[in-house]
Structure 1
Amino acid sequence: MSQPLVVGIIGLGTVGSAVASLLVRNQGVIKARAGREIVLKKAIVRDVSKAQAKLAELGIALSVSTRIEDLLEDAEIDVVIELMGGIDLAYDIAQKVLRANKAFVTANKAMLAYHRYDIQPLAKDLAIGFEASVCGGIPIIRVLKDGLSANHIVGIRGILNGTSNYILTQMLQHQQSFSDALKDAQALGYAESDPTLDISGGDAGHKLLILASLAYGINALPEEILIEGIEGITPDDMEFANEFGYVIKLLGIAKKTDSCIELRVHPAMISKNAMIAKVDGVMNGISVIGDCVGESMYYGAGAGGEATASSVISDLISFAQGKNSVMLGFKQPIESENTQSFTLKSIDDIYSRYYIRLYAHDKPGVLGQISQILGNHNISIKAFLQKETADKRIAKLLFSTHHNYEREIKDALNELEKLDFVTQKPYKIRIEDELENL
């Protein structure tokens, strides 16, 4: 009979307790698929009494302590699962686990966003699993590492954060303001009391960097890519999007152009007909375009205890089966057509269409001056709406543009903001309908 795979876990919060529960509840099917038993032996927590009460409620017998060394020094433990969150301490623990010659599983996208390339060489022949770090229950890590491994990945676009997607869905379908939709998300438990990481795009940025490493072998940090959130979106933007056949989603976008990789997270107007446009509420969706398979779409729960625990346990099953692929999917550096490694495209060189929202005094000559400034920065207008506001002296001006570079739109909006007849800071959203043709 095969020896069991013995596991220790750090953290018994929502996901950790779901892992413990599923290992017991679905023990039969897990053992059948793994080919041997998976045994959770010890848990490390901050509050032992609280953890013991939770385990008693679940009917699970498990040794609990506050000392990480109790896992590292236990020769029987084969795998350590890290579910504590944070960056620096989690990275320190990952190093200690690997140096103790134990396999490592994590759901910690923030730590991986900064340290995935530091961890990989430490692993050597040890298994590392991080399926749960991106989009909870969607097995997108395995798709990129294994399922699409014969493909050049042309592009990825993903709704990677359920909180932001819920807020934008409420704003579109129920005409809510951003603040009201956020309050609803918090009341329903979809948003934290401090939702900054979700609504700022930071959480989605962490996930996009992990996906980009798997797709392209590119090592980039959050500070090096474009990350914008949804805080500035208003019902006016939703109205324009709806009128011109778009929906607004917070997207993580990766695109390959020659030897450059473009990585960005921001609100985007996309065609209502796009598959990913139909991903609503707290759900996540990821579209991957491969040169062999074309576009494939992955949809499911991006968060939640059991969905995330399902991905954690899928890594354990893979380890139990003896599978141990390279952490980031490449045994040697990926090469582009000119044999140079991929480089990260400068934010200023991003080439897109844009939507612009302006509030300005409604008087003769204003539109002409605005058009002249846009023209001076090589920006041509494709569509335009002018509508009244509650203050009859102020006009709401909504534009969409043809393609231009990020640096051009940035300079133009900075110039427009300084005009005395512009009453609010101009706001932009990128229009991503060209991704349909990747």
Structure 2
Amino acid sequence: MLAARKELQESLCCYTADTLIYIDTVREFCERNPKWMLGRETELEMMRDIKDRADNIDLSIGHVTQSKNKGKAFWEYMKSKVTSVTPDSKRAELEKELAGVLKDTLRGLEKLNCFLDALENLAVTSLHVLIDENQVLRLPEGISPEHVQVVITAARVICPLLLEFKRDASVFFLPKLQNVKGLAHQLDKYIKTTQKLCEKLEKNSFSDFCQEMNDESLVDLEVDLSEDDIQRMLHHINQLEEIRMNQSFHTWFLFHDKPCSGFIDMFSERQPRMLQFLKDLEENAVQLDRMNTGAASAFKVLKNQELIASAGKVSVQEVKALRNVPRVEADIPDIGQAAVKGPLALSKSARAGFIGLNALFLGMDIYFICKDSINLAKGSRSEVSQFIRARTALRRSEMDSWQKIHDFLCEGRLTSEENKAILETPFYPEKEMKKEKEKWKCFW
């Protein structure tokens, strides 16, 4: 019995200490968020500047004829032509510059990940362990149980936003000049979502949390607890600790009350088409590399131009049905028209995958993959091949991220209701919980 009491004391101390450390991590990041934001916004502007300079390499005369300010456009056109540096050398230099920017970005995202992990762990923390007026747990001086509960509840409310960050940043943010627009777009989304998270959390004023705590002063098991109470509490706290380490349940929990089966079914249905689409793109890149230099058309024109226009319309309809961001909706309707003028030759499976890809990657950068793919035929054979390879690598990294979410959800939903019930179950003996029952009903 003494061994069980000691084990319970250690487990409860550890669970509580970790909770306070998570809160302190969240509080510290929110306090430093303005500085973090400034760093990322600077990197975002540098990416956009790199993209602008890359666009001005080896300009065509169309840059002049299509520009409203023809004087300025003509000067930019001449400047791109009258130089001793080759276009490939300029691109290599810009890609090197991009690598330096992304190195700083990844360091910043590492700091962000500590904040996100702490927030996610708080979201799956039991409110019942840290209740008021229990005779077992004593928090360090200056730390209010009510405030801890408020922060945990806030984490639960905003945790669905964490799904935005469920990708491997080190794989996604690779220095490929062809992807810089997509990288900038994703970093911009990270900045805005992070700001939203901090704003919602800062509405709950953070207190100073002490990380150095005396275990003996935290837990008092000298109260009237039976052997059954001790064993039940020990089993419960071990279950709560396992929940914190269960990534499958975490992923399921981030979906909140929205049925994850919709995502699972959609991904399972469309994944083969999307993978085939990427495979076809890569094969096109290989064929381009094998072409003779004297072959510009880089692709065979699709036989039915109406099919291209209709594909653009279907893409718009699917995206709108999935409530995609307004900016993308505003830009995509031009795709059908543009495709007729400069189509990218794709196989039937690639065209089907193209539509499915757009619909699934809502909010990622479907605008870029659509518009840039259509404009491929304007570039040289080498440029088109490099673009396809870079873009398909980016898409595959996204597919891997969606696959992990899919797998976690499939695993997590098997025990999700059981784990949620564990979080909702009162921790302390019934006599300690009478005053708290009504109080915590509102949180669920």
TM-score, with length taken from structure 2:
0.30
Higher relative contact order (CA 8 A, sep 6+): 2
Which structure shows the higher strand fraction?
1
Larger Rg: 2
Which structure shows the higher helix fraction?
2
TM-score, with length taken from structure 1:
0.30
